[in-house]
Structure 1
Amino acid sequence: MKNYIKVASVIIAALLSACGNKEKTNEVVQTTTADTLQTATTVQLGEVFADSTYQLTGVAVSPEGRIFTNYPYWLDKHSYSVVEVKDGKPVPYPNAQWNSFKKGDNGSDKFVCIQAVVADEKGYLWVVDAAGIGLGPVYKNSNKVIKIKLADNTIERIYKFPENVAGKESYINDIRVDNTNGFAYMTSSSNGGIVVLNTKTGDSRFVLHDSPSVTSDPAYHFAFNGKEFAKADGSIPKINSDGIALTQDKAWLYYKPLTDDKLYRVSTALLRDFSTPLKTIDDKVEDLGHFITTDGMEFDKDGNLYLGDLEKSSIVKITPDLKMHTLVTDPEKLIWPDSYSISADGYLYISISQIQHMPWFNNNVNTTQKPYKLLRLKL
């Protein structure tokens, strides 16, 4: 993050970044919302879990149907970081020790500030620890990715990053895992860019830093109920690369800044080859056009991409031909749909984090409509 004195007032992945556009991306299709938006009213949102105490952001559903969520250490009130939902109750996962972090602890073998959880098809839970308490600088070099074996709930591996990949001013956000080729991809929403991780060797690389595709467009006015999203002091947060999704064939990585409506993709073959020049990667990014503002996003097995329209309290599907369809709109339930996971039985799970109601954006008053929730809809 560019300025950590002010960063505690920014969200999920961060802050005012307004990095300069170095190069234009390849424009594939200039899609506009007005051209393709359709509305359906038959989809029903079901509640899976509710928590009136702590703010959650992530959701993960394993192939066997186990449900996980996480709680970032953003506000002063904080307890457990990762939980498994059992009989409607949060159970610290994988154990109480990993969820016992307190300020002053070392942080290397505990969860510090967890931003995302993702369950893969091989039976592992991947946990992203941004370690940026209150969205501040990385705590004691403890940002990491933890790979947990679901069969016996043991830590299989902890991945760390060098300073030039995810240093103290980085806030790693969401993750997608390619077990076929042995790679994982993460967005950095503070300073804009993609972290590429070789999950076999542990080597990593930071790409697309300052590319226009990872930098939120300063001209876009991200708004709720006609009022532009702003901090308590009136400044306008611009949140960079955040949402990320991997196609089923693992050939394309889709991503976007949070506070504008553009969507981009890049070939993973370029990302996996660490000898690819950074400029080549920048030049090969494809600009897919204008869609919606979203936090997370997720592909299904048929190549449909699901996103949450933050400004319109909707869940949207983009088909492989880049046509956009609104599945459901519900201002009472879809209060900042955050992260997504698709279960084996065909449900889209959605975390509801209510970020726009945090005190940071409401004159230091928490206007959250508790509880925080996990919802789902049948696809």
Structure 2
Amino acid sequence: MARLSLSTLTSLLLLQGTALAANTGEHGNNSDSLVYTFPTDPGVSGHPLDVVHAYYRQWPTGIAVSASGRLFSNFPGGLDPANVNHGTPGIFTVGELVSRTVEKAYPSEEMNTPPCSIGAVDLTDPDHPVGCGSADHLIAVQSVVVDPKDRLWILDTGRPMYTFPNGSVILLPSSYGGPKLVGVDLTTNKVFKTIPFSPEVALPSDTYLNDVRFDLRPHVTSSGEGIAYITDSSSTGHNGVIVVDIGAGESWRKLHRHPSVLPEGQFLPFVWGRPLYYVSDPGHSPSGNLSTTKPPGHIAMGADGIAISPDGETLYYMPLASRTLYSVPTVLLRARDNAAADEDLFKAVKNHGQTGPADGLETDSNGLVYKGNQEANAVVAYNPKTGMMQTVVRDPRIGWVDTLSVGEDGWVYFTSNQLHLAGGMWSPMSPMGEGDDNQNQNQNQNQNQNQGDQRRKPFGLFRVPLLDGAGKIKV
């Protein structure tokens, strides 16, 4: 008989015990005493999250980082009625982050206090309210971006939300002067340029100006002041890219209703393990579950995230209701009122394939495209040269990554704002009710109900280092 070492004998006995325990469990005897160790999703990967700011006051989307490290956020009244200024100082749509938990109105409280009937809302015709049309005030800002010259640009949709006496909430049409691009000199904190958009460019009842990127190379315009590219994420199908000649103050639409800028039909993302539907009236969310409720609607916002390559020659974009990343040569976007160029533009649209759902996009000096992935609690990066994706960071604290901004310090900053839990979104089961014994014991008993706003403060601003020592692009 062969001699067994002590370690081998111990292993055999352990295996035999495990097999016996497994057999006991299969027959229903003493199953409560069984303990198995299965592989689990670690939930965390990449560089540890650096917490930069906690938003306890207003709900943010955008983040912009200056060369000196100043931080700016916007608080869109077009997505959250609580962000709408009704003529009373204290609610602002753009702010500077002055401590780890405090923001203040920027560039001034006055500019954040519109002068119409009730602030950002014009009730001249009570039956047909519209967004305030003041070009000198900020109405409902969706994005803030620091350009390569270290200037802050503010993208104003001009479209605040309005709550009727019956509780219904709508997104108002804009008035001329509301939709605009505003440049602020960070050395003086003064506005140096305001570019309003005509109703033919920013369609009053359809356009939702979402995000903006800049190409400041002198040769791209006759003025030498550069170009801005803006996504129109309209939920009515009027999607496209708006091109702005910064020096001339002129703008035009490109890729209007092209398939690449449109939302995918019946798009259904899963965030924090729950299917996410869209509610057209955030004031009246449905209630129910798989057996009692039909889908209220699907997310239908088109071109949203936008980023530009380090050489300025390629613009990346993707619809919010999509998992596909696209790109197009910028030279074809700059060709204004040219039918032949439009045909070339349509042919030049490149499909980069399935990269996961995302809101904001950003690029670094190495040409990588960074994007959130709401379904993976992650920020990921795409390499256009190889077509490969890589996870940059993954953490359970990451939910809906809204906006990303690359700083001069070699870090990528991003907001995680729980948009998937806002009143305009709906899931047949509430993710906030599970696994939180301290605050949601009763909610677990009714986890098929998810009515209204499920967000919980604070909202987060995080950062992680860029990959491979990259930095901010300089076009």
Using structure 1 for the length normalisation, give the TM-score: 0.86
CA distance in 1, matches of 2:269, 2:99: 38
CA distance in 1, matches of 2:460, 2:266: 32
CA apart distance, 1:132 = 1.3
Could you tell me whether the CA contact under 8 Å between 2:135 and 2:196 is conserved in 1?
no
1:324 equivalent in structure 2? 389
Gaps in structure 1 of 5+ consecutive residues: 1-38
Match of 1:223 in 2: 270
Greater RCO, 1 or 2 (C-alpha within 8 Å, sep 6+): 1
Distance 1:208 1:241 in 2: 10
Deviation per CA, 1:173-230, whole angstroms, max 9, x where unpaired? 0000111131000000002100000111111110111111001111543223142433
The alignment of Structure 1 onto Structure 2 pairs a total of residues equal to 340
Q: Measure the CA separation in 1 of the matches of 2:276 and 2:241.
A: 27
- Which residue matches 1:64? 68
Q: Relative to structure 2, which stretch is displaced further, 344-353 or 218-227?
A: 218-227
User: SS at the partner of 2:424?
Assistant: helix
Cα distance, 1:264 vs. partner?
0.6
Give the aligned residue type for 1:96. E
Moved more, 203-212 or 223-232: 223-232
Offset, 1:310: 1.2
In the alignment, which of 181, 197, 209 is matched to residue 172 of structure 1? 209
Provide the residue aligned with 1:287 in structure 2. 351
Aligned-pair distance for 1:106? 4.5
Aligned residues of 1:44 and 1:378 also touching (Cα < 8 A)? no
Bigger strand share: 1
| Residue from 92, 95, 107 that aligns with 2:105 | 92
CA distance 1:45–1:92, change in 2 (3 Å): same
Cα-to-partner distance string for 1:121-158 (whole Å, 9 max, x where unaligned): 21210100011112724332211010111111111111
Q: Say which is worse superposed, 166-175 or 133-142, in terms of deviation.
A: 133-142
Q: Does the CA contact (< 8 Å) of 2:214 and 2:227 recur in 1? A: yes
**Matches of residues 38-187 of structure 1 in structure 2 within 5 Å?**
41-73=45-77, 74-78=79-83, 79-88=91-100, 89-101=102-114, 102=119, 103-104=121-122, 106-134=133-161, 136-141=171-176, 142-168=178-204, 169-180=206-217, 181=220, 182-187=226-231
Q: Output the CA distance in 1 between the equivalents of 2:451 and 2:139.
A: 24
2:302 and 2:46 map into 1 onto residues whose CA distance is: 34
The answer for the alignment partner of 2:17 in structure 1 is none
- Residue 350 (structure 1) aligned to one of 414, 427, 433: 414
Sequence identity percentage: 29
Q: What SS class does the counterpart of residue 77 from structure 1 fall into?
A: helix
Q: Which has the larger radius of gyration?
A: 2
Matched, 1:245 2:307: yes
- Of residues 436, 452, 458 in structure 2, which corresponds to 1:371? 458
Confirm whether residue 254 of structure 1 aligns to residue 316 of structure 2: yes
**Equivalence for 2:232:** 188
Whole-Å Cα distance in 1 between the matches of residues 417 and 255 of structure 2?
28
Q: Is the 8 A contact 2:133 2:158 kept in 1?
A: no
Q: Hey, what does 1:341 align to over in structure 2?
A: 405
Alignment gaps of 5+ in structure 2 = 1-42, 84-90, 123-131, 162-169, 221-225, 280-284, 287-295, 427-449, 467-475
- Let me know the Cα RMSD of the aligned residues: 1.7
Report the Cα distance in structure 1 between the residues aligned to 2:334 and 2:184, rounded to whole angstroms: 23
Question: Alignment partner of 1:359: what SS?
Answer: coil
More helix by share: 2
CA contact (8 A) 1:262 1:288 kept: yes
SS of residue in 2 equivalent to 1:315: strand
Q: Deviations over 1:293-319 (max 9, x none)?
A: 000010000111100001221110112
Partners of 1:270 and 1:276 within 8 A in 2? no
Give the aligned residue type for 1:50: A
Question: Structure 2 CA distance, aligned partners of 1:250 and 1:275?
Answer: 21
* Residues 247/61 of structure 1: CA separation in 2 closer, same or farther (3 Å cut): same
2:254 corresponds to: 207
Q: CA deviation at 1:94?
A: 0.8
CA distance in 2, matches of 1:359, 1:219: 19
Per-residue deviation at 1:40? 7.6
For residues 253 and 172 of structure 1, what CA distance do their matches in structure 2 show? 17
Instruction: Determine the C-alpha separation between the residues in 2 that align with 1:281 and 1:113.
Output: 31
Amino acid at match of 2:97: V
